[in-house]
Copies of this chain bind each other. A is one copy, B any other.
């Protein structure tokens, strides 16, 4: 499979001080990304805003792609602590997944320039198959599997969350480029979740009941 560019391996923060710097960098990238978008945001300005040396910034995030995938990753981690696992008990599993995706989408769409930057970076990272992307992705899949009330996911479960995630991602792009409204996006996510997940996770559960 092709690699668009050979990426340097980013460093991992280990000490408390390093984690603090890492967090400051992500906050600075969120702020400046929301104001300027991916193309016009400067790595130098991120370092300045975060109060770190430019070399430190590049050690953690070798490129803007890595940086915005990192921001997306941290938003997803926040999501996994904030999301009520499985939703209300009376909710169908497909609906619980739809609500997680809609909440995540609405949060992203509050800052459209940042959302565009994160989706651009995520797309680039997906096509490059990078490590940061794989991590963010498996954290996101865990959130969706929790909403589906699946504890031990098999290949078919992972396949379904992958397909739903890809559909959600496409719906977000349609909002960002003005093809559909946020309300239409919510409706699309609910419909796609119900059609894709209902037969496996809800209709069978009804049969069992």
Residue on B nearest A175 in the bound complex, by CB: B1
CA distance A126 to B175 in the complex (A): 10
Q: Quick check: B174 and A166 within 8 Å, CB to CB?
A: yes
0/1 per residue, A155-166, Cβ < 8 Å to B?
000010011011
| Contact B112 A177, beta carbon cutoff 8 Å | no
Option from B39, B113, B128, B129 in Cβ contact (under 8 Å) with A5 = B39
Question: What are 28 contact pairs spanning A and B, CB under 8 A?
Answer: A1-B112, A1-B177, A2-B116, A2-B176, A4-B39, A4-B116, A5-B39, A119-B123, A120-B123, A120-B124, A126-B173, A127-B176, A127-B177, A128-B177, A129-B177, A162-B170, A162-B179, A163-B170, A163-B188, A165-B170, A166-B171, A166-B174, A167-B170, A167-B192, A169-B170, A195-B195, A195-B199, A196-B196
A residues near B (Cβ < 8 Å) are 1-2, 4-5, 37-39, 112-113, 116, 119-120, 123-124, 126-129, 133, 159, 162-163, 165-167, 169-171, 173-174, 176-179, 184, 188, 191-192, 195-196, 199
